[in-house]
Amino acid sequence: MLSPLDPIALQRLLDQVAADAPSHFGEGKVADYIPALAEVPPDGFGIAICDVQGNVYSAGDGGKAFSIQSISKVINLVIAMQRLEEDDIWTRVGREPSGQAFNSIVQLEVEKGVPRNPFINAGAVLITDILVSRIMSIHWVLREQARRLAGNPDINFDARVARSEMDHKARNASLAYLMKAYGNLQGNVDEVLDLYFHGCALAMSCVDVARAFAFLANRGVSPLDGSVVLAPHKNRQLNALLLTCGLYDAAGDFAWRVGLPGKSGVGGGIVAIVPGQMSICVWSPRLDTYGNSVAGLRALETLVNGLGVAPLG
């Protein structure tokens, strides 16, 4: 049913999407909860696609590095899914959408310290706790994973962002200590948060991110080097989780509008997966009230309609 994409048409579509982006530059606002993010010029836009043959297309600031923030939660989870048994992970974190806007901590108390899924902050911190306790040199492993997936040895942590996050750790520390009070989080809270914030502070471009997650569109195999990142059934499971839980409290709306597995970050990036075809990454710093990039969401809608990709029919 899916014809091979015409490279010229695809590039033209990306260029058009990038050209349209500035019409949304008035909407939303840049994340300001840490100074290092608040300083980012608000009106940039980038986009990149990596297809399952490994071909990359990009437009706008597609090559410019941004702070991937919560997109790092997927990298952390992939490491956990690669190296640990299912029970080591899924007895300590759930796989259900989180539901309420105010729920991070409410739900965590009602459900006795077990976070709903690995993509809300509490769940991502818990995954980090698992990594810290199980994997040696985990900071190094995390950075290597990002570099290898993206095929870019220059990817690095933005130390200033990581430090700024730690200086404003209060809410995440509250979540972490609550999980520790329930005995679910086992490590030292500051150590766990340090790794978590370093992941958030990874600086990657749209091209990097699209390449890094292209394996999710390719049944778990990286189109860059042919290596198996995840077994096919785990790959499908991760896509399912991204579809139901990837955009916080707007996951349902994203599924409704875009219909793809995806993950957003407050740095303005969003990655989306078209199974069997491609990964897409967009970036634009202004966020809506759910913390998702305004221009990024619009671009994805346009792109999905333009490409006619629709795994849900």
Active-site residues, by number, are 70, 73, 196, 248, 266
Residue with Cβ nearer a second copy (62 or 261): 261
If one asks whether residue 235 binds a second copy (CB under 8 A), the answer comes out as yes
- The reply on whether position 222 binds a second copy by CB under 8 A is no
Residue from 200, 206, 217, 278 in contact with a second copy (CB under 8 A): 217
Least distance in angstroms from the C-beta of 102 to a second copy = 6
The residue among 243, 248, 235, 278 whose CA lies nearest residue 262 is: 243
Tokens 């995440």, residue located: 172
Q: How far is the CB of 137 from a second copy (least distance, A)?
A: 27
Phi-psi domain of 201 (left: phi exceeds 0; alpha: psi -120 through 50; beta: other): alpha
Candidate list 15, 180, 186, 306; residue touching a second copy; CB under 8 A:
180
Q: Using CA atoms in the order 73, 74, 80, 82, what is the torsion angle rounded to 10 degrees?
A: -160
Question: Closest separation between CB of residue 212 and a second copy, Å?
Answer: 16
Binding segment for a second copy (CB under 8 A), chosen from 76-84, 125-133, 175-183, 204-212, is: 175-183
Among residues 110, 136, 154, 226, which is the contact residue for a second copy, using CB under 8 A?
A: 110
> Quick one: which of 44, 62, 123, 261 contacts a second copy (CB under 8 A)?
261
Comparing CB distances to a second copy, the nearer of 45 and 215 is 215
Contact status: 159 vs a second copy (CB under 8 A): no
Q: By the 8 A CB rule, do 46 and 59 touch?
A: yes
Q: Which long-range contacts (CB under 8 A, 24 or more apart) does 190-194 make?
A: 191/132, 192/125, 192/128, 192/129, 192/132, 193/125, 193/128, 193/166, 193/169, 194/162, 194/166
x/- letters, 237..256, toward a second copy (CB under 8 A): x-xxx-xxx---xxxxx-xx
Tokens 């990002």: give the residue: 146
Q: Does 279 bind a second copy (CB under 8 A)?
A: no
Residue 312 in the binding site for a second copy (CB under 8 A): yes
Q: Which of 139, 127, 147 is nearest to 82 (CA)?
A: 127
Say whether 182 counts as a known binding-site residue.
Answer: no
Closest CA to 172 of 218, 112, 110, 129: 129
Contact 244/252 with Cβ under 8 angstroms?
no
The correct pick among 7, 26, 35, 99 for binding a second copy (CB under 8 A) is 99
Q: Which of 199, 267, 275, 291 touches a second copy by CB under 8 A?
A: 275
* Nearer of residues 178 and 271 to a second copy, judged by Cβ: 178
Residues in binding site for substrate:
70, 121, 165, 172, 196, 248, 266
Which residues of the shown chain bind a second copy in the complex (CB under 8 A)? Answer: 1-2, 94-100, 102-107, 109-110, 116-117, 169-171, 173-178, 180-181, 189, 216-219, 232, 235-237, 239-241, 243-245, 249-253, 255-256, 259, 261, 273, 275-276, 310-313
